[in-house]
Amino acid sequence: MKIVYTDYAKDTIRDRKFSKEIIEDALKNPDEIVKGKNDRKISHKIIGNKLLRVIFEEHAKTYIVITAYYTKPERYIKNENKF
């Protein structure tokens, strides 16, 4: 699977000091994937006591990363809208 980053994703990943490795691990080995808006998907990965959310689109064999951020797991992990 090829992974491409939008300019916005590159900026936010740099600003939030994420490594591309942690983003790619969340995409390749997610704890769950849920439906997002506008046919986007959201990869969830628990890291320590935080939830990493990676918003992406899937086209052919390519993941296009839109953005990523940490949040509280209890806010999103409900096992709803799973693919």
CB 68 within 8 A of CB 16: yes
CA angle 41, 54, 3 (to 5 degrees): 85
Q: Which CATH number fits domain 2-76: 2.60.120, 3.30.70, 3.30.2310, 3.40.50?
A: 3.30.2310
The span from the CA of 34 to the CA of 67, in Å, is 15
Amino acid occupying residue 43: S
Extents of the domains making up the chain: 2-76
The span from the CA of 75 to the CA of 12, in Å, is 21
pLDDT on residue 74: 82
Q: Which residues of the chain have pLDDT under 70?
A: 78-83
| Tens-digit pLDDT profile for residues 49-60 | 999 999 999 999
| Tens-digit pLDDT profile for residues 14-24 | 999 999 999 99
Neighbours of 18 (CB within 10 A): 18
pLDDT on residue 45: 95
Query: What sections of the chain are H helices per DSSP?
Result: 7-15, 20-28, 73-76
pLDDT on residue 83: 41
